Chains A and B, each alone.
Chain A
């Protein structure tokens, strides 16, 4: 009923040569929570706005349900959008803000009030219905923006970094509420963020974009365990994956004196691939112990539940830094010498980003 489909959708801003969104192909299932994530300027907001009808689509098309909405104006697409700065109507009360769209549809007053009240109840906004936006806190405004969207029962929710203006604690709290809300309402949602933690924790699937091009779209777990290219590998996961450039001189790839274990299919690809490599290992797949690659601890990040050590090791006659996860409440200190071993999957890429193996 309300799937969303991008078909080779492209947006080139006038006067530029490189497309902001380049032939995006993306299928979003009905009821799915899809996150668009990527660094600044990757085109995620543009892609969202193309779906909303706020950006012109130069090539390709966009479908909502089985309707081609490429040329449909925003007001006719039956979508609801939450803006990054909330974009609340400043001269209207909360109730009027939330009821605005219904008013445009011609819904009679009592029915409107009923629906607004219901949405307010879900979001805990009942006591604010008569206030104006300027008398609300940031978190309250964010809820009003959400309320404005859910009261409409649209086919698709669009959200453009709705949490980025909240303080950290509120952000985490609202994150879970949002996910819960979407699961209950079951409305297809397209969500844009630059924060990969948000992406990983909220989305059914996550689409990673860079420079207008879709890098990979998968379940969060798959993105984590099988990044399709070097960029995704370095982008997903916090702290980021250790990426080490390895020049091969005939032997198997190694970091310093540490040999890198690879799966058979990677080993197979290695035979046909010459030249330098980039090897990736996540901090949580490195351990400190009695034996292994020696290194000096530069920084200790103690988080309580775990600790991250920034260790300087020698690799191919150059010092590099590796981030290693250790148990929390660690006794390890700056300037200590530790030994690092690999205890988990590794990833091998060519320098231009291609993943080896499967």
Chain B
């Protein structure tokens, strides 16, 4: 990359290696809690609840236990399925809604596009906690408590501002001439978007979608307030493993690993896109 502007070697070789080592060390330290969590998932409870042990007899018993569905308690399969649906549909909805919005704010800006953008972002300034009361009341009156639908709606609303904000800057990067050329070629709005804009902003789309998925999947407060019984999502399922009776550390670790795995894998796979996306989307 671009650190060595002058490609001259010198004593800086040593310095360079040292810095590299330091970076590795820091990365490993920062990653350690995650590593430890994974490790603990494979331990027996007895091993997990003593002084930190690095070596032990690994077992998958914890994973088996947390994925079984004891009667009356929130089941693994159910929680995951609820989460997938809520997150998946809300993300798709967000994109479907955000794309035209971003288009109208960038390609052919309305006169007051900045005001509109401000408006979008300002909805994010309100703490969710403050709104939970009326939300809860409305949800109850609409009989949406304990359903997947309420989460889908709320997650969409929650992520929409971010998506519009990010997609707008990606769209703004598309050379205007390309869009104009397609318009001359007779493309209508849908055609312009699908054939010209989307291919170019694809990495930005991926980054935005990933961020939405991350925030929706990990969302706990709304889920636990509005869906404590049915339609509960993975975050709730994880916390249900915290028990006041007996040791639960290993089980919790196993559950945590499973809970975070989808998002972590997605994040790892898309990280290059995410950086590029953030670079393009954060600032023009």
Measuring CB to CB, which residues of chain A are less than 8 angstroms from any residue of chain B?
Answer: 53-56, 71-75
Tell me the complex Cα distance, A72–B7, Å. Answer: 10
Q: Is the CB of A71 within 8 A of B9?
A: yes
Residues of B within 8 A of A55 (CB): 7
B6 at interface by CB-CB < 8 Å? yes
Q: Shortest beta-carbon distance, B7 to chain A, in Å?
A: 4
Interface residues on B, range: under 10
Tell me the complex Cα distance, A43–B9, Å. Answer: 22
Tell me the nearest residue of chain B to A52, going by C-beta: B6
B10 at interface by CB-CB < 8 Å? yes
Residues of A within 8 A of B27 (CB): none
Q: Shortest beta-carbon distance, A78 to chain B, in Å?
A: 14
Tell me the nearest residue of chain B to A56, going by C-beta: B7
Residues of B within 8 A of A56 (CB): 7-9
Which among B7, B9, B10 has the highest number of chain A CB atoms within 10 Å?
A: B7
Tell me the complex Cα distance, A207–B6, Å. Answer: 25
Q: Shortest beta-carbon distance, A100 to chain B, in Å?
A: 15
Residues of A within 8 A of B6 (CB): 53-54, 73-75
Q: Shortest beta-carbon distance, B6 to chain A, in Å?
A: 4
CB<8 Å pairs between A and B, sample of 10: A53-B6, A53-B8, A55-B7, A71-B8, A71-B9, A71-B10, A72-B8, A73-B6, A74-B5, A75-B6
Tell me the complex Cα distance, A71–B9, Å. Answer: 7
Residues of B within 8 A of A73 (CB): 6, 8, 10
Residues of A within 8 A of B9 (CB): 56, 71
Closest CB pairs A-B (n = 7): A56-B7, A73-B8, A74-B6, A73-B6, A53-B6, A53-B8, A54-B6
Tell me the nearest residue of chain A to B8, going by C-beta: A73
Tell me the complex Cα distance, A145–B150, Å. Answer: 60
Tell me the nearest residue of chain B to A69, going by C-beta: B8
Residues of A within 8 A of B7 (CB): 53-56
Other than the given A71-B8, A71-B10, 14 more pairs (CB < 8 A) read A53-B6, A54-B6, A54-B7, A55-B7, A56-B8, A71-B9, A72-B8, A73-B6, A73-B8, A73-B10, A74-B5, A74-B6, A74-B8, A75-B6
Residues of B within 8 A of A72 (CB): 8
Tell me the complex Cα distance, A71–B7, Å. Answer: 9
Q: Shortest beta-carbon distance, B284 to chain A, in Å?
A: 14
Which B residues, 1 to 33, have Cβ-Cβ distances below 8 Å to chain A? 5-10
Q: Shortest beta-carbon distance, A67 to chain B, in Å?
A: 14
Residues of B within 8 A of A75 (CB): 6
Residues of A within 8 A of B8 (CB): 53, 56, 71-74
Q: Shortest beta-carbon distance, B253 to chain A, in Å?
A: 45
Tell me the complex Cα distance, A54–B6, Å. Answer: 5
Tell me the complex Cα distance, A55–B8, Å. Answer: 8
Which among B5, B7, B8, B10 has the highest number of chain A CB atoms within 10 Å?
A: B8
Q: Shortest beta-carbon distance, B148 to chain A, in Å?
A: 50
Residues of A within 8 A of B10 (CB): 71, 73
Tell me the complex Cα distance, A53–B7, Å. Answer: 7
Residues of B within 8 A of A71 (CB): 8-10
Residues of B within 8 A of A74 (CB): 5-6, 8
Q: Shortest beta-carbon distance, B30 to chain A, in Å?
A: 32
Q: Shortest beta-carbon distance, B81 to chain A, in Å?
A: 49
Tell me the nearest residue of chain B to A50, going by C-beta: B7
Tell me the nearest residue of chain A to B5, going by C-beta: A54
Tell me the nearest residue of chain A to B4, going by C-beta: A56
Q: Shortest beta-carbon distance, B107 to chain A, in Å?
A: 25
Q: Shortest beta-carbon distance, A338 to chain B, in Å?
A: 44
Tell me the complex Cα distance, A226–B5, Å. Answer: 40
Q: Shortest beta-carbon distance, B126 to chain A, in Å?
A: 35
Tell me the complex Cα distance, A71–B12, Å. Answer: 12
Tell me the complex Cα distance, A56–B8, Å. Answer: 6
Q: Shortest beta-carbon distance, B206 to chain A, in Å?
A: 29
Which B residues, 21 to 59, have Cβ-Cβ distances below 8 Å to chain A? none
Q: Shortest beta-carbon distance, A326 to chain B, in Å?
A: 41
The digit string for B220-231, where 1 denotes a CB below 8 A from any CB of A, is 000000000000
Tell me the complex Cα distance, A75–B5, Å. Answer: 11
Q: Shortest beta-carbon distance, B189 to chain A, in Å?
A: 34
Which B residues, 124 to 148, have Cβ-Cβ distances below 8 Å to chain A? none
Q: Shortest beta-carbon distance, A99 to chain B, in Å?
A: 21
Tell me the complex Cα distance, A254–B270, Å. Answer: 67
Tell me the nearest residue of chain B to A75, going by C-beta: B6
Tell me the complex Cα distance, A55–B10, Å. Answer: 14
Q: Shortest beta-carbon distance, A348 to chain B, in Å?
A: 44
Tell me the complex Cα distance, A53–B9, Å. Answer: 11
Q: Shortest beta-carbon distance, A274 to chain B, in Å?
A: 48
Tell me the nearest residue of chain A to B12, going by C-beta: A73
Tell me the complex Cα distance, A249–B10, Å. Answer: 62
Tell me the complex Cα distance, A283–B275, Å. Answer: 56
Q: Shortest beta-carbon distance, A164 to chain B, in Å?
A: 22
Tell me the complex Cα distance, A53–B4, Å. Answer: 11
Tell me the complex Cα distance, A74–B6, Å. Answer: 6
Q: Shortest beta-carbon distance, B22 to chain A, in Å?
A: 23
Tell me the complex Cα distance, A74–B7, Å. Answer: 9
Tell me the nearest residue of chain B to A71, going by C-beta: B8
Tell me the complex Cα distance, A73–B70, Å. Answer: 69
Tell me the complex Cα distance, A53–B5, Å. Answer: 9
Q: Shortest beta-carbon distance, B152 to chain A, in Å?
A: 45
Q: Shortest beta-carbon distance, B260 to chain A, in Å?
A: 39
Residues of A within 8 A of B5 (CB): 54, 74
Tell me the complex Cα distance, A71–B6, Å. Answer: 10
Tell me the complex Cα distance, A336–B41, Å. Answer: 92
Q: Shortest beta-carbon distance, B84 to chain A, in Å?
A: 44
Tell me the complex Cα distance, A54–B8, Å. Answer: 8
The digit string for B54-74, where 1 denotes a CB below 8 A from any CB of A, is 000000000000000000000
